[in-house]
A and B are shown apart, each in its own frame.
Chain A
C-alpha cells in the first residue's frame, strides 16, 4: 500500500512538475518553412486563420481569396494542396477541426459558422438553437473543444455560447464585466474557456464547469507590446498573437507572461501582422502571417 502511495505521489509530482515546467518556460519558435501556395493557382492572399490537424494536416483560411486550403506538410515540404472554394463560404477568417476531422469555418462576410466534411464538402451553416434572447448573434470567433462542443464568442450579447456539435445550446458564459473588448477565445485541453481582452490586454478563464469568467493570473497588460488579436491553447501553453508587433507571446497556465518570440518583418521567419496560430501534435506551430500573405511553420520547443 505504502509503495503504491509512493508511486502515486511521485507520478503526481512528475505530472505537476512537468506542467509547471511548461508554464514557466518561454515557447521557442524555430523557423521551419514558409508556405506561399502551389504553382497551379493563386498564392495565399491575406490569410487570417489556420487550423492544425493530425498527421501534418493544416487548413488555412485564405481570407483574401475567399477560400480554404487543405494541405499536408511533411519533411519540410507541402505534400498536398487542395483549395476549397464554395459560394457558401466567403472571406473565411477562422477555421477549426472537430475531433472527427470535420472542418468548421467562420464566414467573415456573413459572420456565421459553416461546416464542411473532412474532404471539404459543404455540410451547412451551424444553426444555433435554444439560445436565450436576444436572437441576433454576432460571431466574432469560435472554438471547437476536445469533446466536440462548439464555443461561440457572441460579441453583441457579450457572452460565450457553448453549443453541441449541431448548434444546440448548452450554456452561456457572460463575458467579464470589466473586460473592455473580448476579441478571441480558446479552449484548453482541460475544457477551460480562455477569453482575451484585446483592449484591456488581459486573459480570463472559465473552468470547465464554471458559470462565469475570472481573471487568469496577474495583469499582463504591461508585458504585451501591442494589441493582442488572438490566442491559442495547447497542452499547458497559451500563445497570444500580438499582431502589430509581429510576435507571439507565451503565457503560462497561471496566466503569467513568460516571454515573446518572433519579430516583425517580411523575411522568412518574421511576421507581418500575424492573425492566428495553431499547434499540432508534432509540436509544429503554424502561423497565419496575414500581411505577408503566407503561412509559416515553426518547430515549437518547450
Chain B
C-alpha cells in the first residue's frame, strides 16, 4: 500500500468516526437524562393526566403551553411547596420582575407579598391574564366589605360596574395612592367636566377641580344623592359652604374662616365649651387641625364623620398602645372590638387617660357588677398597702387593655399578684 492510499483511508476513517460521534452527541442532547418520554409535557402528563383539562382552557401560561414544566417545577426535590424550583414570589419575578416600578406610590398588598396565585392561575384559565375569577368578582373575593357596600348602595358609580380596573391598576401605581391609575382629581375630571354649567352650579362655584373629590364623594357607590359619602356634614348637605370657607370668588376659596376648633365652635359651641372646661384635653382637639384631626369636615363613611373606624383612628397616633394590645392574649372586650371610646372620652376628661368618672371603679362598674365578681375591698377608702397615696381599685389587679394572663390580671399567678400587698403570704 502506498503512502497516498494510506492517507486517504485514514481520512475516510476519521470522517466516519466523526459522523458517528456527532450523531451520538445529537441524540444525548435531545434526551440528556434518558427520559422515558422525550417530550417533557408528555412525560408529566403520563402521571398528571387530570391536567389535560387545564390545558384545554382558553388561556394557557406560555411556559405550560410549551410543555416546559421544569421551568417552574423541580422534578425531583424542592424546598418549596408543589416542587417549585423557587419561592412563588421569586419564581414569578424571574420572568415578570418589572411589575412594580421603583417609584410606585402604591403597591397591591398581594403583589408586595408575592402572592401572585391569589389572582392568577399559574397554569391556565378561561379568563384573560390567567385570572382566577372574572372582572370585579376577583377583586371582591378579597375586598368583601367594599363589594357588600357597593351591592347595598342605592347608586353605583358606573366605572365600578364597568370594572375596578377602570380606575385602579392591579399591581402598582406610580401615579397615586390606592392603586389609582391617575391621582384624584385628575382621574375624576377625565370623565366629569368641571367647567360644565351644571357641575359649576352643583359645586356652588367653588373650583373643586383642584380639590379632592373623595373628601365628599364615595367613588364606588352610595345611597346618598350625588354619591356623597354616607354621613354628610350639615353645611355640605345644605350647600352652605361659606359657613366654613371663604367665598368661592376669593383668592383662597378653600381657606377656612377660622383655625382649628375655633371654626367648629361657631356651630358646636356647647361641645367646644364643655371640652375646654375640662382639665385634661385630648390635645389634638386644640391644635391647628383641631377637630379635623379625627373628623372629616365634609362627609364620611363612618358615624360622627370620623375619618376611619375608631381603633384605626386611635392607633394612627397611639401606635405604641396598639402594638401592645395586639401582642396580648387576654384582651378587654371593648379593646378587642376596637371600641376605645367605650372607656375613653375622645375630646377631654376630668380624669387621667381621658376617662371621666372620678375613679376607674366607677368607670368599670358601668359594665361590670363588682359585687358579683369578688369581695376584695376596693374604692376610695381602701388604701393600697404598696403606696399610701394610692387606693385599691380595678387597675390594682387588672390591666385596662389586657395582658397575657387570664382575666387581664397583672401577674400570671395568684402568689405574684397578691403578695405585693399581702406580704405575710410571701414565700
Write the nearest CB–CB distance from B381 to chain A, whole angstroms. Answer: 14
Scoring B258, B281, B387 by chain A CB atoms within 10 A of each residue's CB, the highest score goes to B387
**Contact, CB under 8 Å: A156 / B352:** no
Q: Indicate if A111 sits at the interface (CB-CB under 8 A).
A: yes
Q: Which of B260, B261, B321, B352 contacts A290 (CB 8 A)?
A: B352
Across-interface contacts of B320 in A (CB, < 8 A):
225-227, 244-245
Q: Which of A46, A156, A266 contacts B287 (CB 8 A)?
A: A156
Q: Which of A43, A44, A155 contacts B286 (CB 8 A)?
A: A155
Known: A155-B286, A156-B287. A109 touches B389 (CB 8 A): no
**Contact, CB under 8 Å: A157 / B317:** no
Complex Cα distance, B280 from A226, in Å, reads 20
A72-80, A204-212, A291-299: which lies at the interface: A291-299
Known: A111-B276, A227-B318. A140 touches B286 (CB 8 A): yes
Across-interface contacts of A140 in B (CB, < 8 A):
283, 286
**Contact, CB under 8 Å: B317 / A108:** no
Complex Cα distance, B276 from A91, in Å, reads 13
In the complex, which residues 351-390 of chain B have their Cβ closer than 8 Å to any Cβ of chain A? 352, 386-390
**In this complex, what residue of B is CB-closest to A138?**
B286
**In this complex, what residue of A is CB-closest to B290?**
A156
Q: Indicate if A199 sits at the interface (CB-CB under 8 A).
A: yes
**Contact, CB under 8 Å: B317 / A158:** no
Across-interface contacts of B259 in A (CB, < 8 A):
134, 156-157
Known: A108-B280, A181-B317, A183-B283. A155 touches B387 (CB 8 A): no
Across-interface contacts of A138 in B (CB, < 8 A):
286-287
Known: A46-B352, A227-B318, A290-B352. A158 touches B387 (CB 8 A): no
Q: Indicate if A302 sits at the interface (CB-CB under 8 A).
A: no
Across-interface contacts of B276 in A (CB, < 8 A):
111
Interface size class of B (residues with CB under 8 A): 20 to 34
**Number of A residues, CB within 8 Å of B:** 38
Complex Cα distance, B318 from A108, in Å, reads 22
Across-interface contacts of B423 in A (CB, < 8 A):
none
**Contact, CB under 8 Å: B388 / A43:** yes
Across-interface contacts of B321 in A (CB, < 8 A):
244
Across-interface contacts of B317 in A (CB, < 8 A):
180-181, 199, 227
**Contact, CB under 8 Å: A90 / B386:** no
Across-interface contacts of B260 in A (CB, < 8 A):
156
Write the nearest CB–CB distance from B1 to chain A, whole angstroms. Answer: 90
**Contact, CB under 8 Å: B287 / A155:** yes
Write the nearest CB–CB distance from A47 to chain B, whole angstroms. Answer: 9
Q: Indicate if A167 sits at the interface (CB-CB under 8 A).
A: no
Complex Cα distance, B353 from A291, in Å, reads 10
Write the nearest CB–CB distance from B399 to chain A, whole angstroms. Answer: 11
Q: Indicate if B288 sits at the interface (CB-CB under 8 A).
A: yes
Complex Cα distance, B396 from A291, in Å, reads 11
Per-residue CB contact flags for chain A residues 96-109 toward chain B (1 = under 8 Å, else 0) read: 00000000000011
**Contact, CB under 8 Å: B318 / A45:** no
**Contact, CB under 8 Å: A181 / B283:** yes
Complex Cα distance, B387 from A267, in Å, reads 9
**Contact, CB under 8 Å: A292 / B387:** yes
In the complex, which residues 170-184 of chain A have their Cβ closer than 8 Å to any Cβ of chain B? 180-181, 183
Write the nearest CB–CB distance from B304 to chain A, whole angstroms. Answer: 21
Q: Indicate if B284 sits at the interface (CB-CB under 8 A).
A: yes
In the complex, which residues 269-286 of chain B have their Cβ closer than 8 Å to any Cβ of chain A? 276-281, 283-284, 286
Per-residue CB contact flags for chain A residues 176-199 toward chain B (1 = under 8 Å, else 0) read: 000011010000000000000001
Per-residue CB contact flags for chain A residues 228-268 toward chain B (1 = under 8 Å, else 0) read: 00000000000000001100000000000000000000110
Across-interface contacts of A93 in B (CB, < 8 A):
279
**Contact, CB under 8 Å: A44 / B279:** no
Across-interface contacts of B279 in A (CB, < 8 A):
63, 90-91, 93, 108-109
**Contact, CB under 8 Å: A136 / B387:** no
Q: Indicate if A49 sits at the interface (CB-CB under 8 A).
A: no
Write the nearest CB–CB distance from B268 to chain A, whole angstroms. Answer: 16
Known: A44-B389, A293-B387, A293-B390. A158 touches B288 (CB 8 A): yes
Q: Indicate if B262 sits at the interface (CB-CB under 8 A).
A: yes
Complex Cα distance, B261 from A157, in Å, reads 11
**In this complex, what residue of A is CB-closest to B316?**
A199
Write the nearest CB–CB distance from A155 to chain B, whole angstroms. Answer: 4
Write the nearest CB–CB distance from A126 to chain B, whole angstroms. Answer: 18
Complex Cα distance, B1 from A152, in Å, reads 118
Give me 13 other A-B pairs in contact (C-beta within 8 A), A155-B287, A290-B352 excluded. Answer: A36-B387, A90-B279, A91-B279, A91-B280, A134-B258, A136-B262, A155-B288, A156-B287, A158-B288, A180-B317, A225-B320, A266-B386, A292-B390
B residues adjacent to A (C-beta < 8 A): 258-262, 276-281, 283-284, 286-288, 290, 317-318, 320-321, 352, 386-390, 420
What are 12 residue pairs bridging A and B, where the CB atoms are less than 8 Å apart in the complex?
A: A37-B388, A111-B281, A134-B258, A134-B262, A156-B287, A156-B288, A156-B290, A181-B283, A181-B284, A183-B283, A199-B317, A292-B389
Q: Nearest 6 pairs between A and B by C-beta?
A: A293-B389, A91-B279, A43-B389, A226-B320, A109-B279, A138-B286
